[in-house]
Structure 1
């Protein structure tokens, strides 16, 4: 059974943890996302702002989360024990029977307060009157300046009102701070409930990749394969993909972010699929590459096994205290040695390894953080050489996704041209090593060919 629930108490604790990091007499403002017009009077499917969702679990547009830090509490427990001084407030859309008939039900302030665990909740109709009073007399304001232009304008307008209201006793905050670094650090280490959801998202996504392999055959179109994937997502509780699915056959697989998904699949070519479900806001991100006709050619199998070997080498480095730089070193050495042995890379092997010469054909990063965003927030702690040195900690989740892309114009033997291969899994750092969350998406040649033949 897919796990899709995070308890209200966990969202409350996240708010209290953030408050504990803020200085006394400060306020944080975290806005929800807005609906985006697709065409005239229709909107894109709504996607909540991930920072707002992380702190609230609330999934309506236009809302605003306000966190008030009054005392000098330094732990979530201290914050929770003094909610007279430390408050969490939600502004959300007012109940409106007429609007709800046309656009769907709204939670409303009263139910938002009781169901989502806020100390106070107001309708957006009260925002202009109430919000300035929450900012009045505070020393610092934390918000993500530049994220939403209209929100920035509102905040600065309130600050101007307070600055110009000295005769009325108003005192404007004097310090503006970016809230994103604190939230990024909080989001980087996943809780047990988050990991349960991410395992479920991976299970759904792995089943979708299996379905694509079984469905695929020469003459099908890329968009038909994509439809099978999206159907598997939605049928199992993940209404949307976490990102635009990449379904690229043949030379299309050498285009890293190919999303046209419109060409016919040809006998003898490979199909690269990069697709993951979004479940309860959390992303899976899985890539598999397999033969359209169900059988790898000798050249395809050779390059495929090289990518797989490099991925395994990288994954084997993942444990607490390791880092992306070490994983990159492991993957790059395997790829460079293999490409040199095949004659695709030429020159002195040790120098090629030192130069990361494989990057000529492995042209993207090895991986990234994964969570509420598919390219999730969190500092990689790069050095001056752009090596990602942040030590891994239990609870971090990342992708590992080496690849080889040899386009039709590459200066290589003709038999290697037009081949694009990527293999991507989602890896959790555990107390004593790692856990591969991508457990049910076949990736060995034997398993792929057996599934496609069944």
Structure 2
């Protein structure tokens, strides 16, 4: 945990933004895999962690705005639980570590909330993503569990999102700890991967690094020679010389701050000429985007700038044609780049995602597009200092999408389908780093991870 002062300052800042009522925070509970005592690895709710820091199941908290009180709810371990789990600190001791003095058993939570509701007081809560907490809120507040998120507090969503989006010095340090683990995950994978191996051998090796150095993965490893499948979690392919693989993976620090890094590298250690050509376009798009990041610039504009670099590079290879500005405006480039440039990063690998992207990534000035590719941009607003965002352009050759667009004669004025048929088995390339928006520009966080063709070939050729 951070110091109690940090959690108190965070709660005090939140209190300034909520006018009245009670703010209810539900921590997460254990989630069984196949029977009650055999659970998945516990992961605390990130907003609960942000304001209270208690990284254990079966906790809740209330901030009473009107009475300026902070309450934590939890149960001390019974002797039977201590036999299985060992000695534990009391709820009051745990609460003191985040600067909260008043504690109650979980059974008191319902009574306090019902008393508040009987007096017509507002109960604020954020959107829920776990069904167990949706059911819990139904019991506590009398709202149909299937409609819980319809009643989430817009006022609280905005306040928490604004606060969590801008990272403190301590948070940046935690993210960089997570990136230092990702460095090992990426470099070790380049050296470990050899022709004849099955993808799962490397995916398991990568996950082992995350577990041994931090709090495990920040999301399931994406490791595949079929990089054209954006989130490919299938690890059954056998690798051969000439293949390239996408390694999109990240770790959590011990305080649950995430990293998210992608590198694409050749299995044999050397790119082919055609792979180099596509890789250089993606790298130039990424470097151009990073250079463009500064406060006040909308991330949508940076996404479109990276898209233009990609389209221009593909035109130089004869895969696109015509007026490139118009091609990007109409979305023809999205055949090759069908996702957004990046997303926020913090306590969640897609930070604040459970709040709904339109609630934090868009505003009255920048509305979400309905255009294929651009509609997948998770964050589009103007950047502000302290935001951490990923920059991850890619070029993908998706056979099914190519065939569909060609059959529809879609964007024939911009796409050279005849030449494109030569690339159908290429796969995909993505390059991703985690970027801090500074007061006058940006900074790539963490130790530099090999990214140029020369750097990657040097590491990937030095097998272990």
For the superposition of Structure 1 and Structure 2, which TM-score range results when normalised by the shorter chain? 0.7 to 0.9
Contact 2:19 2:65 in 1 (8 A): yes
Task: Name the counterpart of 2:140.
Answer: 155
What is the match of residue 24 of structure 2? Answer: 29
Q: 1:115 aligns with which of 85, 97, 117?
A: 97
Is 2:381 aligned against 1:390?
A: yes
Stretches of structure 2 lacking an aligned partner (at least 5 in a row): 144-150, 353-359, 403-416
Partner deviation per Cα, 1:178-234 (whole Å, 9 max, x = no partner): 432221111100011000000111111012100000111101121111122222222
**Residue 135 and residue 349 in structure 1: after superposition, are their counterparts in 2 closer, same or farther (change >3 A)?**
closer
Q: Partner of 1:162 in structure 2?
A: none
Shift of 1:61: 1.4
Q: Which residue of 2 aligns with 1:219?
A: 196
Shift of 1:7: 1.7
Q: Show the counterpart of 2:244.
A: 270
Deviations 1:223-246 (A, max 9, x none): 11112222222232x131000110
The structural deviation recorded for 1:380 is 3.0
SS at match of 1:278: coil
Separation of aligned partners in 1, 2:457 and 2:200: 22
**Whole-angstrom distance in 1 between the partners of 2:18 and 2:122:** 9
Corresponding residue for 1:166? none
| CA gap 1:102/1:353 in 2 versus in 1, 3 angstroms | same
2:181 — aligned with what? 204
Name the counterpart of 2:409: none
Measure how far apart 1:17 and its partner are: 1.3
- Select between 297-306 and 139-148 the one with higher mean Cα deviation: 139-148
Residue 187 to residue 384, structure 1, CA distance change in 2 (3 Å): closer
Choose between structure 1 and 2: higher strand proportion.
1
Q: Where do residues 218-297 of structure 1 align in structure 2 (5 Å cutoff)?
A: 218-236=195-213, 238-249=214-225, 252-279=226-253, 280-297=255-272
Offset at residue 157 of structure 1 (A): 4.2
Matching of residue 427 in structure 1 with residue 430 in structure 2: no
Aligned match for 1:192, one of 162, 169, 192: 169
Deviation at 1:416, TM superposition (A): 5.7
- Higher alpha-carbon Rg: 1
Shift of 1:152: 2.0
**Quick one: distance in 2 between partners of 1:225 and 1:57?**
33
Work out the CA distance in 2 between the residues paired with 1:91 and 1:229: 38
- Name the SS for the 2:14 alignment partner: helix
Task: Give 1:55 shift.
Answer: 0.7
After TM superposition, give the deviation of residue 286 of structure 1 in Å: 0.6
Give distance in 2, aligned partners of 1:207 and 1:323: 32
State whether residues 300 and 419 of structure 1, in contact with CA within 8 Å, keep that contact through their aligned partners in structure 2. no
* Partner in structure 2 of residue 400 of structure 1: 391
Which consecutive residues of structure 1, in runs of 5 or more, have no partner in the other structure?
A: 71-84, 159-174
Residues 176, 325 of structure 1: alpha-carbon distance in 2 compared, 3 angstrom cutoff? closer
**What is aligned with 1:75?**
none
Counterpart Cα distance in 2 of 1:380 and 1:289: 30
**TM score, norm. by length of structure 1:** 0.86
Deviation at 1:344, TM superposition (A): 1.4
Are 1:181 and 2:158 an aligned pair? yes
Query: What displacement does 1:328 show?
Result: 1.1
Report matched runs for 1:85-100 at 5 Å. Answer: 85-100=67-82
Cα deviation, residue 146, structure 1: 5.2
Cα RMSD, aligned residues only: 2.3
Shift of 1:348: 3.7
Deviation for aligned residue 1:130: 4.5
Q: Number of paired residues? A: 417
SS in 2 for 1:47: coil
Q: Secondary structure at the match of 1:225?
A: helix
Aligned to 1:161: none
Matched, 1:336 2:336: no
What residue is the counterpart of 2:4 in the other structure? Answer: 8
CA contact (8 A) 2:59 2:74 kept: yes
Q: Over residues 53-75 of structure 1, what are the superposed CA-to-partner deviations in whole Å (9 max), with x where a residue is unaligned?
A: 111001121211100112xxxxx
> Is the CA contact 2:72–2:104 (under 8 Å) kept in the aligned structure 1?
yes
Distance in 1 (alpha carbons) for counterparts of 2:380 and 2:220? 30
C-alpha contact (below 8 Å) 1:369/1:399 kept by paired residues: yes
Check if 1:38 corresponds to 2:33.
yes
Q: Report the equivalent of 1:170.
A: none
1:140 aligns with 2:125: no
The verdict on how the C-alpha distance between 1:23 and 1:302 changes in structure 2, with shifts beyond 3 A counting, is same
Relative to structure 2, which stretch is displaced further, 5-14 or 254-263?
5-14
Matches within 5 A, 1:293-442: 293-377=268-352, 378-381=360-363, 382-383=366-367, 385=369, 389-408=380-399, 410=402, 411=417, 412-415=420-423, 417-442=425-450
TM-score, normalised by the number of residues in structure 2: 0.84
CA contact (8 A) 2:3 2:97 kept: no
What secondary structure does 1:367 align onto? coil
Q: Among residues 37, 62, 69, which one is paired with 1:66 in the alignment?
A: 62
CA contact under 8 A between 1:337 and 1:353: conserved in structure 2? Answer: no
